[in-house]
Amino acid sequence: MTHANTSAARRRESILRAAVRQGLLGPDHAVLAAFVDLDGVAASVRALHTAFPDSVSVLHTFAAKANCLVPVLRELRALGMGCEAAGAGELAQALAAGFAPDHIVLDSPAKTRAELARALELGVAVNADSFQELDRIEGILTRRPSSSRIGVRLNPQVGGGDIAAMSTATATSKFGVALDDDGNRRRLLDAYRARPWLTWVHAHVGSQGCSLDLMAEGVARAVDFADEVGRTLGRPVTGIDIGGGLPVDFEGDDPPPGFDAYVRRLQDRVPRLFGGAYRIVTEFGRSLLAKNGFTAALVEYTKTSGGRRVAITHAGAQVAARTVFMPSAWPLRITAHGPDGGPRTGEPVPQDIAGPCCFAGDLLASARPLPPLAPGDIVALLDTGAYYSSTPFHYNSLPDPAVHGVRVGPGGEVVFEPLRRAETLDDVLARTGG
């Protein structure tokens, strides 16, 4: 185990032990809880800001879909981030977190007239996803001018990564205007010619499973098109929204290629992006939050079925939908702990780590070698700071767990702060019409 792995594991253990001591997790308190390491989030944001050269104007926005909890967004705003919203709900969350409208970007393939009118009234940046959406925006602007930065999302059609569902620049992707489809490049140039308020270009190739080379190629095609607009129309595109999508290593704690490696790849493939002609917006999400969070669940029962050990826990599809429904694409590391949060010892044996949901496929892992688990033990789902407990799946009307922010003081003291309180059964009834 490397030093990075050891340090991260010790930090998680100290947080878990403190959570048990302080009554945030345990059979008499809460059987499921999530934790976001706010110190780690701040370090990730610093790494992002440092990676881009000071010579370019960059607005780094956080993709709210990765963790839409308003206190998390508020924390990111205080760290100098903007916010990317993919719909009316995330826009409302961004505004509630205090982001200035000109630091918010609205992206969605299905923006309604009301959503567009609201964004344009506020001065929120908008990336149009289709020619029809451009027409809709034009109709709104004829009635009311806007200070919004407005661009078109291009589909650079550079291909997919290892996970098809996360690849947004395939030939037939639902996102953006397909750049190489017959006649589209001419139609796009005509759209920019007819609409002087159209001054940005946006591209996003995908996220998990997409290589740095594929991502850089998509950005390069967006910059090439922006250059073509300038040459053809005699007026410049002023900015490029390069999206996010930096993949995360879910196999260990050693840092994977990070923001600095991606920037170097961009500098090699598309130096024009850094030449000062374009302002830049980024939309990173998972790469800022995933590894700065984990989810902890109590083991309620254990049994043997067909000769295999099974641990029934309180974490399943309701907090790990991607892993449960696409286990080969979204495997999670799982660690075993005793009731006090300390590491569970013993010779690892294959065990199914099952959730509480009432369907057979509600498994976090199959035949995973772990020290033998017993009722009252704890399992920790690592790298779940993004897209897991912050985006629950309400199967079986299971209550949403509490999410706790964590800071560790210079003396090792662990301090928790509430990011989302646990739902009560009254809350469940309220959201289901009871």
Q: What is the pLDDT of residues 303-339, one digit of tens each?
A: 999 999 999 999 999 999 999 999 998 999 999 999 9
Task: Please say whether the beta carbons of 105 and 82 come within 8 A.
Answer: yes
Q: What pLDDT score does 118 carry?
A: 97
| pLDDT over 70 (residue 256) | no
Predicted pLDDT of residue 174: 84
Each residue's pLDDT tens digit, 345-401: 999 999 999 999 999 999 999 999 999 999 999 999 999 999 999 999 999 999 999
Do the domains at 3-37+290-431 and 107-284 have one common CATH topology? no
pLDDT at 144 (0 to 100): 94
pLDDT in tens, 85-141: 999 999 999 999 999 999 999 999 999 999 999 999 999 999 999 999 999 999 999
Average pLDDT over residues 217-223: 94
State mean pLDDT over 339-344.
Answer: 96
Encode pLDDT of 407-434 as tens digits: 999 999 999 999 999 999 999 999 999 9
> Residue 1 pLDDT > 50, yes or no?
no
User: 3-state DSSP: the chain helix, strand, coil percent, rounded to 5?
Assistant: 35, 25, 40
Question: For residue 205, is pLDDT > 90?
Answer: no
The model's confidence at residue 255, banded by pLDDT at 50, 70 and 90, is low
State the amino acid at position 341 in one-letter form.
G
- The residue type found at 317 is A
212-221 average pLDDT score: 92
- The answer to whether residues 230 and 309 touch, using CB atoms and an 8 Å cutoff, is no
Joined together, the tokens standing for residue 206 give 């995908």
Give the start-to-end residue ranges of the domains of the chain.
Answer: 3-37+290-431, 107-284
Please give the angle made by the CA atoms of 348, 350 and 354, to the nearest 5 degrees: 115
Residues near 66 by beta carbon (within 8 Å), at least 6 away in sequence: 285, 286, 288, 289, 290, 386, 387, 390
Higher-scoring residue by pLDDT: 13, 252: 13
Rounded to two decimals, what is the model's pTM? 0.95
Whether residue 293 is predicted with pLDDT greater than 50 in this model: the reply is yes
Q: Are 202 and 154 in contact (CB under 8 A)?
A: yes
Summarize pLDDT for 17-74 with one digit per residue, the tens. 999 999 999 998 899 999 999 999 999 999 999 999 999 999 999 999 999 999 999 9
The architecture that CATH gives domain 107-284 is Alpha-Beta Barrel (3.20)
Q: What is the dihedral of CA 164, 167, 168, 173, to 10 degrees?
A: -20
Instruction: Tell the CATH topology of 3-37+290-431.
Output: Lyase, Ornithine Decarboxylase; Chain A, domain 1 (2.40.37)
CA distance 189 to 280: 21
Task: Report the 10 Å Cβ neighbour count for 22.
Answer: 14
Measured CA to CA, the distance from residue 137 to residue 128 in angstroms comes to: 8
Question: Alpha-carbon distance 185 to 225, whole Å?
Answer: 9
Query: pLDDT averaged over the chain?
Result: 94
Residue with tokens 């095609």: 221
Token pair, residue 363, equals 């498994």
